[in-house]
A and B are shown apart, each in its own frame.
Chain A
Amino acid sequence: MRRALLSAAILALLVAPAVLSPWGLAQLTFVAIYVVAGAGLMLLAGYAGQLSLCHAAFLGIGAYAEALLQAQGWPLAASLPAATLLAALAGGAAAWPARRLAGIYLAIATLSFGFIVQEVLVRWESVTGGNGGLVVAPLDPWAAYGLAWALALAALWLLGRLLASRLGRAFAAVREDATAAQAIGVAVPALKVVAFAAAAALAGLAGALYAHQLRFVSPEQFDWVMSIELLMMLVIGGLGTRAGIVLGALFLIALPQALGLLRDLAGWAVPPAGVELFAFGLALVLTLRYAPDGLSGLAGRLRSL
């Protein structure tokens, strides 16, 4: 059953460019980019149980690195790994002071890291262009689509392999009970640093793709709202499952479009203020109340009816 679903999904992705408009293709590319970032955050928040409120900062670092390296004439094959590596280093650096923190302290530490990164992007004008941002060369839309989905599927596959490994079990042990994990010999602080670095690497990769897709990066794009959006995406999709990442990303990208459609249908010339935030909030509350395991859990339960 799962195999059939997976094959169908991949087949649909292969056929999509032939039937979709550039608009549809751009949407699916964004979904893939969010899947890449979501895979990293799932590893960190879903499996290792660590809260990150600075994931947008890692995306930003990847995006800016890609923008700057491409401007230097680096080929994509070199700039993408470099952007990923740089974000991983930033992730490790962010986790270093936070490695012994948990709960609300970790949340505040990561939130602060996000603010610092955004501030650096604004202040370091000679390199980042400050608030004016940087222009990035676009990729061919079909190439971008193929590359983003190839990387998204690879990230999901890697995530699955990792979970089945010793490292994956160690992550789960930290999530369930950090003290107990420490007692059985898991080096908890080091493991947290690894988890942050890995999650940041994927976020950086996503950020690099995002930069090409937007063709323009500026500090305000990578604020805490984006970090929260990414976390909400995972919760709505289903924390702890790989299908949840894809469903959450689809939801995140499709919701504004669905609301736009609703707007046209309802004949609102101007939608009521805050309708989108309201819809997001409502979706989150409904998910937590009626489907605490997210869209993927809901799908599973519907199947077993």
Chain B
Amino acid sequence: MRHLLLAFCLACLAPFAAAGGVTPTELRVGSLQDLSGPIAALGVHFRNGTQMRFDEENAKGGVHGRQLKLLVEDTGYDPKRAVLAAEKLLGGTGVFAVLHNLGSPVVMATMPRFLEAGVLHLFPGAPLKEVYEPVHPLKFGMSPSYTQSVPPGARHLIEKNGFKRVGILYQDDDMGREVLRGIDALLGELGLKWCEQTSYKRGATDFAAQIARLRAADCDFVVLGTVVRETVGAYTEARRAGWQVPMLVTASGYTAQVPQLGGAAMDGLYAVALVPQPDPDGANRALADWIRRYQEKFKTEPNTWDVYTWVGADLFVRALHAAGPQPTPQKVAAALERLEVARDFFGSQPIALSADNHLALRQVRVAQIRNGRWENVTDYLPIAR
């Protein structure tokens, strides 16, 4: 009984407690990144893009007089270390929100901890439905699952070119199988049958057997459920063998690294794209200036993941402004739900969050490598349900 009474008193007090991570001069935001593990190449850009947006805001005097402080913890893609890092962020003065936590196992192990502590869980780098559905007042997602994002691109190419014999090469893990599931549903809708399915183990470097199999089945269109290196390996293998079949890769393959690694042989590859490449060629003034500032700050070239996280940080900053001088996670969440953002200077898709939509990117675009550069083939298409 005494416990119940105590719990009741605490529950009554909770709304009046100051939000964690906020002082009159500072607002602390956490981020769990992989800076030393298997996807550190991604983690570095996740951090840079976020930091870039925060620095821009801080240079203008911060939000309602508060400087935005980004606290990055390295998880090495290890959920055990992620759990410890989450406890570290939640301890002491705490954090107001976490932004762009990277890696599915990291996010799955830590998300409940942040939500229970009343911390906003924003735009993680994990293509999982769980990060935005079922709708929870404090969680918002950035990118749709592969099951949703690849089919619209495939549908566009199949319908436009009249492809009938669709094959797939996919990585034999959750990522690859999500692509498989999505395309499987799409073929059902289009009344088509699989021409061939073949897979590879993560880390494979030789795709001769898989490509030969797809070719023997006489596929006229191949979907690649691959990331970066395997995309290059599979595509160049087909071209080397003299097979000019059109191929479409996931948003993970939509990076400048792919034409860089594969060279001229990569020309013609299609990809679905969630956010644009920051390409200095043909950039508008604002983008050219952004790229120059990025290079000066981080001594490296920006890529699509910097844009991805810059856009996420931008949404957060806009919501913070809208939430007023005394922000609480609830106020900021409510502000996020009212946000409508038109295309920015990157050419990002328009974003409209609402009370029943906590997913930011709901459209994809088809892009193609032409003369070693990604070029847009379509405008934004809605994702699959």
Q: What residues make up the interface of A, taking CB atoms closer than 8 Å to B?
A: 21-23, 26-27, 30, 122, 130-133, 135, 138, 210, 213-216, 218, 220-221, 253, 256-257, 260, 263, 269-271, 273-277
- The residue in chain A whose Cβ has the minimal distance to the Cβ of B297 is A269
Residues from 76 to 127 in B contacting A, C-beta threshold 8 Å: 76, 79-81, 83-84, 87-88, 90-92, 104-105, 108-109, 112-113
Selected contact of A220 from candidates B40, B44, B91, B105, CB within 8 Å: B105
Q: Does B237 contact A (CB under 8 A)?
A: no
Total number of residue pairs linking A and B with CB closer than 8 Å: 73
Interface code B31-45, partner A: CB below 8 Å = 1, 0 otherwise? 000011000100010
Selected contact of A270 from candidates B47, B84, B108, CB within 8 Å: B47
Q: Does B74 contact A (CB under 8 A)?
A: yes
Q: Is the CB of A221 within 8 A of B105?
A: yes
Q: Is the CB of B174 within 8 A of A131?
A: yes
- The residue in chain B whose Cβ has the minimal distance to the Cβ of A274 is B36
Assembly CA distance A269 to B52 (angstroms): 13
Assembly CA distance A30 to B84 (angstroms): 9
Q: Is the CB of B173 within 8 A of A131?
A: yes
Q: Does B177 contact A (CB under 8 A)?
A: yes
Q: Is the CB of B91 within 8 A of A214?
A: no
B44 to chain A, nearest CB (A): 5
Q: Could you say which residues of chain A place their CB within 8 Å of the CB of B90?
A: 22-23
Assembly CA distance A83 to B90 (angstroms): 31
Q: Does B220 contact A (CB under 8 A)?
A: no
Q: Is the CB of B109 within 8 A of A215?
A: yes
Q: Does B279 contact A (CB under 8 A)?
A: no
| Given contact pairs A215-B113, A256-B74, a sample of 4 additional A-B residue pairs in the complex whose CB atoms are under 8 Å apart | A23-B84, A214-B109, A218-B79, A273-B36
- Nearest first, the 5 closest Cβ-Cβ pairs linking A and B are A131-B174, A23-B87, A216-B109, A21-B91, A216-B108
Residue with the greatest number of chain A CB neighbours at <10 A, chosen from B76, B84, B112: B84
B76 to chain A, nearest CB (A): 6
The number of residues on chain B lying at the interface, defined by a beta carbon within 8 Å of a beta carbon of chain A, is 27
Assembly CA distance A135 to B81 (angstroms): 17
Q: Is the CB of B44 within 8 A of A270?
A: yes
Selected contact of A26 from candidates B73, B79, B84, B174, CB within 8 Å: B84
Q: Is the CB of A132 within 8 A of B81?
A: no
Q: Is the CB of B36 within 8 A of A214?
A: no
**A270-B35, A271-B36, A273-B36 known; A22-B74 Cβ under 8 A:** no
Q: Could you say which residues of chain A place their CB within 8 Å of the CB of B40?
A: 273
**A26-B84, A276-B76 known; A133-B92 Cβ under 8 A:** no
Q: Is the CB of A275 within 8 A of B108?
A: no
Assembly CA distance A30 to B78 (angstroms): 13
**A131-B173, A133-B108, A273-B40 known; A21-B83 Cβ under 8 A:** no
Q: Could you say which residues of chain B place their CB within 8 Å of the CB of A221?
A: 79-80, 105
Q: Is the CB of B84 within 8 A of A216?
A: no
- The residue in chain B whose Cβ has the minimal distance to the Cβ of A210 is B80
